Amino acid sequence: MGGGDDDDRISKLPDDILVDVISRLSLKEAGRTSVLSPRWKNVWKHTPFLNFDADDVLQKIMEHHSSKDLIKIEAPKYVEWVNSVVRAHKSPTLKEFKIRFHLDNKYESSITQWLEFAFSKQVERLELNHENFINPNEYYCLPDFSSFASCKSLKALSLVSVHVTDGAVEFFLRNCPLLEELTVCCSHKFLDLEVCGPSLVLKHLDLQHTYDFRTLKICAPFLTSLKVQITKGLLIENVPMLVDLSLTSYSVKGLISAISCCFSQLEVLCFSLTSINKEVMSEHGNFPEMPKLKKLFIEYKTCGYESLVRLMASLIRKSPSLEEFALQYNYFPPKVRKDRGVEEAMWFPNNHVKVFKLSSDYSRVSDVMVYIVGGILGNCAGLEKIIVDTSDGYFPVNDRHKIERRNKAKQQLEPQIPHHIEFVVL
């Protein structure tokens, strides 16, 4: 685009085009255009996208030695920011309204006003994410939802670290005929939830980190992706479109019985195992065939190398079309016996697997990684790429440690990887 232009062509464009342009900028950048000239003063106020993105502050809070103290300083500023934008905003409708900050129930009246504001403008995508530094006892509670009568336009709703009752979820399911995406994470108010109904158009349902169900029934004809924790009372039926499933489970048995109706149609399975018991070992062989599965992701949040190998082998054996396999493994033992039984279990020939990704916190090194990569290389003749992600782990790390970890992983694994396979360390 050429240099200065004397006739100020851009300011002569009609309002709706200027609004369309600045709606693609971040909210702060859009707001800053008000300073350009009087012509621009009110343009940003018509943007239908209000995404209160404070990633830079959230990052500082994460890295701060006393996160809670910093939140006490930053949260009121965030609330004032949202309030001032809400007061100034002029567009009659909203495509998006996103709140992402550590906010507890102290700000209840402001948050409720924001929700009323968003619903009064027929918001299409609403997110209320109160992040993870808030004590569940101080979560904001979604108020009497009948006041949100004008939620007919809602297409996506995401509530994270907010108390939501089953009644509220069922209200939205009943009253939002366009609702395609629903996320409710870290809520502790559920008891018996039913996501059912012939008129549901729901495509994506995410109920992660929401554990307190007595019963959860899912019966949604258009559902394509589901993320859920397995509990005793999970019942899934009539999900003919479901292809992408993420589950957290304490047991393999629970997993198999809960999703027996949809194994054969799955294309993506993300399976997070959080504890191990004797039952697990004997159940591995019972996985049904997954003929369409292309991507498998195992998040192994427990110890037991032998058990992991058996789980991995039995899942890959049942997935003849598998193309991508990813493993996240952090609780590994520093030393592992080269046990014959385990080596024999490492048998799952599969020529379709092209990509293997290993995510692990490389703060320490274990031979386990060499065995796992060796096992994959030995079984997957068509392998093209190995990715090792060393950035994984619970605590944030500084740049020097990041480089150290990458180097450790490289030194440890590179010697065994043939040249024709691309090796990437993240």
Which stretch of DSSP H or E encloses residue 327? Answer: strand 324-329
Per residue in 212-232, is it b (16+ CB within 10 Å) or e — as a string?
Answer: ebeebebbbbebbbbbbbbbe
- To another protein, the closest distance from the beta carbon of 322 in angstroms equals 24
Q: CB nearer to another protein: give 24 or 337.
A: 24
Residue that the structure tokens 């014959």 belong to: 340
- To another protein, the closest distance from the beta carbon of 346 in angstroms equals 38
Q: CB nearer to another protein: give 4 or 334.
A: 4
Residue that the structure tokens 């109706």 belong to: 261
CA distance 375 to 82: 52
Q: CB nearer to another protein: give 23 or 183.
A: 23
Q: Let me know: does 173 contact 179? Beta carbons within 8 Å.
A: yes
- To another protein, the closest distance from the beta carbon of 8 in angstroms equals 5
Total number of residues shown for the chain: 426
The token duo for 156 is 């996506």
CA distance 323 to 329: 20
The token duo for 53 is 């993105």
Q: CB nearer to another protein: give 62 or 377.
A: 62
**Distance of CA 4 to CAs 7, 8, 12, 15, 43, Å?**
9, 9, 15, 22, 22
Q: CB nearer to another protein: give 12 or 335.
A: 12
- To another protein, the closest distance from the beta carbon of 77 in angstroms equals 8
Provide the binding-site residues for another protein, judged by CB under 8 A: 1-11, 13-14, 16-17, 20-22, 24-25, 28-29, 31-41, 54, 56-57, 81, 84-85
- To another protein, the closest distance from the beta carbon of 154 in angstroms equals 22
Q: CB nearer to another protein: give 23 or 158.
A: 23
DSSP string, 77-135: HHHHHHHHHHHH---S--SEEEEES---GGGHHHHHHHHHHHHHTT-SEEEEE--SSS-
Q: Let me know: does 351 contact 381? Beta carbons within 8 Å.
A: yes
Q: CB nearer to another protein: give 67 or 150.
A: 67
- To another protein, the closest distance from the beta carbon of 152 in angstroms equals 23
Q: CB nearer to another protein: give 25 or 196.
A: 25
- To another protein, the closest distance from the beta carbon of 116 in angstroms equals 22
- To another protein, the closest distance from the beta carbon of 204 in angstroms equals 19
The token duo for 206 is 């995410």
